[in-house]
Amino acid sequence: VNIPASSLNPVPASPVRPAPPLRELSVGLVGPGQVGRALLDQLLAARAPLQRELRLDLRVRIVADSRRMWLDHENPSLAPDAPGTRTWYPSDLDQFGARLGALPGPVVIDCSASESVAERYASWLRAGLHVVTPNKLAISGPLERWHAIGKARDSGALLRYEATVGAGLPVVQTLRDLIATGDTLCSVEGLFSGTLAWLFDGYDGRQPFSQRVRQAREMGYTEPDPRADLDGVDVARKLVILAREAGMDLSLEDVHVQSLVPPELRELDLDACMQRLQDLDEPLARRHAAAAARGSVLRHVGRLHADGRAQVALEELPADHPLAQGRLSDNIVQFRTRRYADNPLRVQGPGAGPEVTAAGVFADLLRVAAEVRA
Ligand SMILES: NC(=O)c1ccc[n+]([C@@H]2O[C@H](COP(=O)([O-])OP(=O)(O)OC[C@H]3O[C@@H](n4cnc5c(N)ncnc54)[C@H](OP(=O)(O)O)[C@@H]3O)[C@@H](O)[C@H]2O)c1
């Protein structure tokens, strides 16, 4: 049927809707170190697209390190070492919180590794400031403080800490989603330390283990004192964080940790310890040879069971075990739940590094923005 175009009704022009107003979140960053600076760069790069596409204005208003703090209206780039950064104040976290709390949508981002900053979470949350952090200390710290933080969240302020476990990998959020949708956790197990994953992934027993540790230290893969990686406490903290996320009252002391640091190296100062690092070699070479003779490999594994048992240890695993399939410094985290009983849900990928960690923090910040709006 031929219908003449002239007989069609003209489509009414749709009215131009004004853009919704910008919503502002005021960010205060504590700790412009490796992760903090990467985050500042990411926030700056994303500011215009977020304004355009989400109508969200993420404004970094204050930055504080352990000695100084900078305010945005005097120093818009807020990068502590940017040219022209002249105006600063002595660092004072009381003033930091008070200033930020007076601004719209205040969010503290703690990128320090400081106990004294972790001590502030409860008061910030009580005052209505949201807190986002990759710092494990408050989330895995003393139970009494953890409960005080939980109570402080009654104010409606949010606490997010995805990057404390697996840096940019979605580990905490995955567990939160499983539980929120009615699943039941049976166990979590995995390789939670990128440093230890790297050390054992390439360890073939020919190169002394101490040499691998020195190499990792030179490449910046370990903490300045490698005992902080080898003692397993950092992995234990991650298990405590996941346990608490799952509703368990677990403390660091409840985790059975098998340290790789021989007792005779524990009390030495760093230089003396580095001189005697070869004390690690013989026992690990023996364990490696025994495992290899059985077609197995050594991996540093953290395990958490639903009944609250938690352990961190060097384990012998069959070479085809899923936890033996990581690459280099991959973290691998397996959740067994009622729904994922036979075939566990697995999250795997690089679990450290300033950029991916900052991205994990940034994703948390966007979740806070979405929840605040909802
Ligand atoms: N790097 C990673 O790959 C990674 C991965 C996952 C999680 N994390 C966590 O992310 C956090 C930051 O790591 P990072 O590697 O960026 O550490 P970093 O480079 O050592 O930076 C730490 C920052 O915190 C500041 N700071 C320390 N004490 C402070 C205090 N009392 N008040 C205010 N600021 C303070 C430091 O300032 P000063 O210079 O003044 O001391 C520095 O700016 C840590 O909790 C770490 O465990 C890091």
CA distances 81 to 68, 87, 109, 264, Å, are: 12, 12, 19, 42
Q: What residue type is 189 in one-letter code?
A: E
Cβ–Cβ under 8 Å, residues 142 and 114: no
Q: What is the DSSP string of 249-270?
A: ---GGGSEE--SS-HHHHTS-H
- Pocket mutation for ligand 1, best pick of 29, 112, 172, 196 (most atoms within 8 Å of C-beta): 112
Say how far apart CA 137 and CA 86 lie, in whole Å.
Answer: 32
**Catalytic position from the list 120, 217, 238, 299:** 238
Q: Tell me the pTM.
A: 0.93
Spell out the residues 6+ positions from residue 244 whose beta carbon is closer than 8 angstroms to its own: 139, 140, 146, 250
Q: CB-based contacts of 363: which residues, under 8 Å, 6+ apart?
A: 162, 168
Coil/strand/helix, residue 92: coil
pLDDT, tens digit, 9 for 90 and up, residues 121-148: 999 999 999 999 999 999 999 999 999 9
Which residue has a Cα nearest atom 6 of ligand 1? 167
User: Mean pLDDT, the chain, as a whole number?
Assistant: 93
Asked if residue 351 has its Cβ within 6 Å of ligand 1, the reply is no
Annotated catalytic residue 151: no
Kindly state the percentage of the chain with pLDDT values over 70: 93
pLDDT tens, 274-308?
A: 999 999 999 999 999 999 999 999 999 999 999 99
- Dihedral-angle region of residue 107 (phi above 0 means left; psi in -120 to 50 means alpha; beta otherwise): beta
